[in-house]
Amino acid sequence: MDALVSRCSTPPRHPRPPLPQAPRPPRPSARHHFVRAVAALAAAKLAADLPVLLANPPALVRAVDEALRLDAAVADHVLVGDPANPPHVPAPPPSSTRPPPCLLISPPTGSVRNLRPAPAISALSPAVSRLDEIIADPAAWDPAFAALADADPLRTSASADRLRALVDAVADSAARLPRPVHRLAVVSSALFAVLDGYLAAIAREHAAIRASFATIRDPGYSLDRRAAQVARRARLASSANAVLAAIALWENSPLFLELALELHDSPDSPAPSILADYSQKYSACIADLTDAIVEDICLDVRESLWQFDRRRNWLDTAEDAAAVPEEHVQPSLAEPLRVLAHYLQTASAALSLPLFRPSVLRPVTAHIDDLLWSRTVVRAQFSVHGGRQFASDLRNGFLRSLAPFHAHPSSLLPRSSDAAIILALPQEAAAEGDIDIYSLMLAAVDETEDLGALLERLGVVHLDHKDVREVIGRRIEAFGDFV
């Protein structure tokens, strides 16, 4: 009975509910650890081998392809998920700590694409280090094909040749990438940086040349030293011109045509090239260098012409003309002709012919033509023998010095050549139908229709009627009354 009472008085025991526990995070599987380790090892290996890979374009292309395949496999594993390790998506960082977007390309339309380069592609920045090695070479600005100069019309420098190979390798690797974002990343981070860096290197070299400038009156001046500076500028201009020619080829390549269409917003208008800005930059660089070359040459030629410019009396007599050979050139022209020929030979050896003629030869000769016209033709007084001496100086002096650089050197000094024809006209025609100074003078005074026909027969085509009257007035036969 007592036992029964004791059992009845004991309250029944109920099972306690289990305490709530936080869910355990899934343990990473061995596969997850293996993928992470392989990705880290591949990234470290690629970063260590990039300087060597950039020097070997085929190996670089294979390494990029393998890295992209590994990157895609890791992305599929992390984003799609591992059955034993579901992905954990962290909350986005606050706006103050969020990294800024990567501005890849600013197309000519003004819009900006905010794209993030793939991690495997952002390691291509060592291309800039490769560029630094190219520029640091002591022979960077020397001709790349000195032994085959005739076969290289662009006069390519060693650095420009290696730069083109580097850009071709980077562009080829970018073209093999599977996604537009990867191609844009390579072009913006590596290729554009290389083009900008090479342009900055040329600017630094040009600034160093300007800093060592010496005028003809400086104690350290010498013609060889100034010619060496002209040659350095010419090699820089040839380097920029070689890259500019390569840019014209790259613009029409499938990779850059595709990127231009990718960044173009308006389907109604043609897509502008993404390299158009670099074409303008390199063209401006070439113009700056060639303008400096022309300025140096014109400065020295103008300084050396001081004695020739001072002559105002060209009233040579028959005795004076008989005392000198027929093709005589005045001694005062010896130094200017030597300076001119030396500079033009130096510049033409370093510049391509299509760049040398319009950018250096024609500006220099136009300046000389203006000097001869303004300082000699319209200021001096000529006899028939003095006019013939001026024509001999022009023909056997200046034009002979310019003959190696142009098939028709008289076209380089047009006004002076036409003036020399008029100043050398005889007083009386030697035969019927010949033109003398008096017949031309009367036609110019009366402004008859015969003036144009007479000038055409003489070959005077670059002077208008006012200039023709000015030249005739320089002959002593006009007695100063003809203007």
Which two tokens mark 28? Answer: 């990473």
Contact 313, 356 (CB under 8 A): no
Q: How far apart are CA 335 and CA 233, in angstroms?
A: 23
The per-residue pLDDT for 61 is 65
Where along the chain do its domains lie?
Answer: 32-85, 100-289, 305-478
The per-residue pLDDT for 127 is 78
pLDDT over 50 at 96, yes or no: no
Q: Which helix (H) or strand (E) segment is 37 a member of?
A: helix 30-54
Share of the chain above pLDDT 70, in %: 75
Q: pLDDT confidence of 326, banded at 50, 70, 90?
A: confident
Q: How far apart are CA 168 and CA 187, in angstroms?
A: 11
C-alpha pair distances (Å), 124 with each of 65, 116, 189? 13, 14, 8
CATH T-level fold of 305-478: Methane Monooxygenase Hydroxylase; Chain G, domain 1 (1.20.58)
Q: What is the DSSP letter of 475?
A: B
> Residue 313 — φ and ψ, nearest 5°?
-100, 105
Most confident range (mean pLDDT) of 168-177, 252-261, 292-301 is: 292-301
Mean pLDDT (the chain) is 78
Contact 264, 107 (CB under 8 A): yes
- Dump the DSSP string for 115-179: -PPPTTTGGGTHHHHHHHHHHHSTTTTSBTTGGGGGG-TT--BHHHHHHHHHHHHHHHHHHT-SS
The per-residue pLDDT for 325 is 75
Share of the chain above pLDDT 90, in %: 34
The per-residue pLDDT for 273 is 80
More confident residue, 125 or 298: 298
> Residue 408 — φ and ψ, nearest 5°?
-125, 80
pLDDT over 50 at 82, yes or no: no
Q: pLDDT confidence of 414, banded at 50, 70, 90?
A: very high
User: Does the pTM of the predicted model rise above 0.75?
Assistant: no
pLDDT in tens, 191-238: 888 899 999 999 999 999 988 877 667 777 788 888 899 999 999 999
Contact 105, 273 (CB under 8 A): no
pLDDT over 60 at 88, yes or no: no
pLDDT in tens, 127-154: 778 888 899 999 999 888 776 666 677 8
